[in-house]
Amino acid sequence: MRSPLAIPTADNAWEHLRVTAMWRLRSILERHGNRLSSEHHNALWALIVSMVARLEGTDRGRLAFGLPTGMGKTTAIVALCAAMEDVQHLIGNKTIAVSASKVEALCELKRAMIAEGVSPEHVGLIHSKRYDPKIAAKIAAGEVAKDDYASEPSEGHDRPILLVSHARVRGQNGAVADYMRRDLLIWDESLFVSDSSGVALCSLDEDAGALQRVARYKPEMADLADYLDSCIGLCHAKMEELQENGEQEAVFRFPNLSADYMEKFRGLIGSRYETVARLLDYVNEPIRYIPTKLGGVLSYRLAVPDDIENIVILDASHPIRELVRSTEGVIDAERDHPLIAGLGINLSRIKRFDRTTIKYMKRSGSRTEMTRDLLKTKRGDERSVSRELVEVIRNIPEHEAALVFTYKPRPRDKRSMASVLLSDLEDAGIDTAAKVTDHSGAQRDRITVLTWGQETSSNHYSHCKHVILAGVLLRAEEDVAAAFVGETRNIRVNIDNDRIRALIQTEAAHCAYQAASRGSCRTAVNGYAEAMTLWLMHADPVIVETLREVMPGVKVEPWRSVTATFRGAKENTTAATIAEFLGRLPEGTREVSIRQLRKETGLDSIPGQSFRRARDAALQQVPWVIAGRSLVRAF
């Protein structure tokens, strides 16, 4: 593929790189059926200009582009690296690093670069996974998934283009490996500049108590148990101080641990006592106590050092993810980039979701609730989550595929939620091994179950017309508080319970958006997402409004439960009557008084307590909430 420009020279090399990269980017996208609107073109042009400016050294800083998924961010990396092939000898042998969360995504990126004309000798890939050519071919073809293998070998750390994982960049304890000193670092997905840890004091107390009991029989545990007791005692003292003076935070230090003791303690706990292990990571750092529901201690340390300055961040969740928007020193392209801001481009609204529907069920999707329903029951028992999924998948056309997300198994779990769901689907007569034909004619699994942690990077499931979230990952209060403190790099930053709740909700929305983006709505044709249905169960309807910010045009409909039961037969009937009445109201009706509802449904003779129980049960089924003496639409 040749550039439309004249042969590059020393005088026009940088302009040649910008224009050729954009030309290549547009050509690749159009080759795959995309037609760019002027707004989409301008946003991608601003991205190319920003990457080249940092490569050239005419602009500096960390810049976040919140372009939606499937709009050409990763393809822009390929186009830029391919365009460099013609001018590398003229621009001073500039170097690029690209970092992503998944090694396999980097393997795919390497193959895409080579397919577009980048010399294999110019692309390095660093990872610690095993490599076997036979297994690699199957991984690349999507036939197998092996977490401990990569489909490309680790090689070439000194090549001009280097592909590395986020963990490798962040795992240097604040230092920068020589091979990571690059003219430009492109960071795929959210950038967190700090490593942080927040633990609930009650969980720490529980582990410390267990270690004290173990120490009765294993004297070598005594020093660790005593150290933890001293740490917990200090936390309780700070907690009492806060209660006395009415303040919201206390910053202090735990007793210092030498390197020898740190190594000894880590060896003693092994893979057990997760809370203790997390605490040991930060015992020599400043510690902050915060009065969350369970009491929390947190700390952080810098993970991405300040001298890695020229970073372009490609993060579709940036517009809604409050944690990354609080990161110190990151420029928001939509707000502060001259070209983007000057043209008034709203990056998150370039892609329309008019053919996407969110089916929302107001129901807790926490790990605790999913564990209770899916793991603390026996095969053959009634599992309401499984029944909801069976009903959804049974009514999906046989030629359409479904992608299900649920939680990873914990070490103490005897079985996984994924295996339980698949088993229950099979018991209901659904063929979990069935295949469908994708747009390329390939045979693909009709039903796939993934776990949280797999909701980013991959585009292997874009044939799935339905994405079903069997729960949405909710981060713990102490966890998000620690992350917020770390991103602001201020151990004393003001963070109250309202801020913590808001952070938890935007993190949940980020997870749901990324999970949805694995399905067919990831693919955009002429700026419109392909048709898809997102089935979402979550306790707080605020998540729907947050998703609407990055999914403009999306339709929202209730996901009617087939398992909801209430306290008595009479309340079941009353709840159904209320839900049916609210469901029939015109879209333009935003509010209805409870008095009017009782009158129009003939429920004005129902005793108050029975009515309230039935009302609350009905509100689990329809997108309405209580506001004083009325009910109002949640969305």
pLDDT at 548: 93
Considering the chain, what percentage of its residues have pLDDT values greater than 90?
52
pLDDT at 567: 46
pLDDT above 70 for 237: yes
pLDDT at 21: 96
Q: Tell me the mean pLDDT in the region 182-200.
A: 93
What distances in angstroms separate CA 503 from CA 200, 333, 398, 456, one per listed residue? 17, 22, 39, 19
- Please answer whether residues 621 and 561 qualify as being in contact, where contact means their C-beta atoms are separated by less than 8 angstroms: yes
pLDDT above 80 for 278: yes
Positive or negative torsion for Cα 106, 110, 111, 116: positive
Residue 111 or residue 141, greater confidence: 111
pLDDT at 305: 85
Choosing among 1.10.150, 1.10.10, 3.30.70, 3.30.450, the CATH entry for 564-635 is: 1.10.10
pLDDT above 60 for 571: no
Looking from the CA of 62 toward its CB, the CA atoms found within 13 Å total 20
pLDDT band at 568 (very low <50, low <70, confident <90, very high): very low
pLDDT above 60 for 174: no
Q: Tell me the mean pLDDT in the region 440-466.
A: 89
Query: Which CATH superfamily, name and number, covers 13-193+304-349?
Result: P-loop containing nucleotide triphosphate hydrolases (3.40.50.300)
Q: Tell me the mean pLDDT in the region 234-252.
A: 84
Least confident of 46-50, 293-297, 488-492, 516-520: 293-297
Burial of 612 (0-12, 13-18, 19+ CB in 10 A): middle
pLDDT above 90 for 436: yes
Task: Name the residue with tokens 């997390």.
Answer: 278
pLDDT at 162: 96
Least confident of 18-32, 152-166, 575-589: 575-589
pTM exceeds 0.85: yes
In CATH, what number does 356-560 get?
3.40.50.300
Mean pLDDT of the chain: 88
Integer Cα distance of 390 and 399 in angstroms: 16
Residue 580 or residue 87, greater confidence: 87
pLDDT above 80 for 33: no
pLDDT digits (tens, 9 = 90+) for 89-126: 899 889 999 999 889 999 999 999 999 999 999 999 99
Most confident of 274-283, 373-382, 530-539, 585-594: 530-539
Query: What beta strand segments (E) does 346-394 contain?
Result: 356-362
Residue 151 or residue 605, greater confidence: 151
